[in-house]
Amino acid sequence: MKFRSLAAFPLCFAVVFAVVALAAGGDGLPSVLATENEVGKVLALVGCFVAALAFEEGDYLRRAWFYSGLCYLLLLLGDVVGMPFVATHLSTHQLDLAEGSFAVLGNATSVLGTWMLARAWTVAGLEDDDDASRTRGRLLFAAAVTVSLAITGWPLMHDAGALASGDLGASVNIASDLGDTICLALVAPVMLTALAMRGGTLRWPWGLLTVSGIAWIAYDAASGAVELFHVEQARWLIVTEALRGLACAFFFSAGMAQRIAVTAGVRVSVPPPAP
């Protein structure tokens, strides 16, 4: 029942904020969506750190969850820097540098954490060793890379063109685009881990991580479509923010599910790295 509640929570989170956003109307909409954005990041941060602290110091999965949580912490710090009570004390250059640094570091830790979580099954030596499984894994990963590039390719080319034209601020967007591309592609190995654990308690953390990744794919696709086709953003903001909220909330649920599984004595045994 705990796991099913964790799976249902992100849907409730997104629906509640969508209803509140619709009720708020034009004047109150920005505040509601900004709150949803920040609360979602806080939830993901809490879920990751709760999961990390379930493991002993030095454990592979402790570091994997910690790096994922560090991403959300850095993104939140970047948001704080952009708030008026901080931004007014910084020059434009200092503000751009601080926000850009947090964005780049956040995307770097996101890639590292997602990569480590995606490889947990392999590092533990539990990956299926037959040719059919390896082929299936390669095909799924290739499909994920294709989908990822289809979604993030246009923004990446657009931002690369802006950088070539002398817009140094576009370098931050490029870092974000590359981070999104890699993390979206890593949804495939996370999904394979969830499928490999079917029938066991550990299917819940990796299954919820997979759904979070799919929600991020949907968010990036929707956001890219809005920009590419010049859709009136106000009309789609509630939808795109609901998808981002879903992605963050599912990450929270995955972390909590990992904590419950470890507390119950069920875990992936990942050996420490060789000295």
The rounded mean pLDDT for the chain is: 83
Tens digit of each residue's pLDDT (9 = 90 or more) over 2-42: 889 999 999 999 999 999 988 887 788 889 999 999 999 99
Q: What is the distance between the alpha carbons of residues 227 and 152, in angstroms, rounded to a whole number?
A: 12
Residue pair 124/195 in contact by the 8 Å Cβ criterion: no
pLDDT of residue 230: 66
Residue 128's pLDDT band, with cuts at 50, 70 and 90, is: low
For the chain, the helix, strand and coil percentages under 3-state DSSP, each to the nearest 5? 80, 0, 20
| Residue 249: pLDDT over 60 | yes
pLDDT of residue 183: 81
Tens digit of each residue's pLDDT (9 = 90 or more) over 58-114: 899 999 999 999 999 999 998 998 888 888 888 887 887 888 888 889 989 999 999
| Residue 239: pLDDT over 60 | yes
Residue pair 45/70 in contact by the 8 Å Cβ criterion: no
For residue 40, CA distances in Å to 68, 76, 80, 96, 230 come to 14, 10, 15, 24, 26
pLDDT of residue 54: 93
pLDDT of residue 234: 67
Q: What percent of the chain has pLDDT over 90?
A: 33
| Residue 266: pLDDT over 70 | no
| Residue 157: pLDDT over 90 | no
Lowest mean pLDDT among 121-135, 138-152, 184-198: 121-135
pLDDT of residue 275: 47
DSSP string, 88-141: TTS-HHHHHHHHHHHHHHHHHHHHHHHHHHHTHHHHTT-S--SHHHHHHHHHHH
Q: Taking the CB of residue 266, how many other CB atoms lie within 10 A of it? A: 15
pLDDT of residue 47: 97
Q: Which residue has the higher pLDDT, 245 or 226?
A: 245
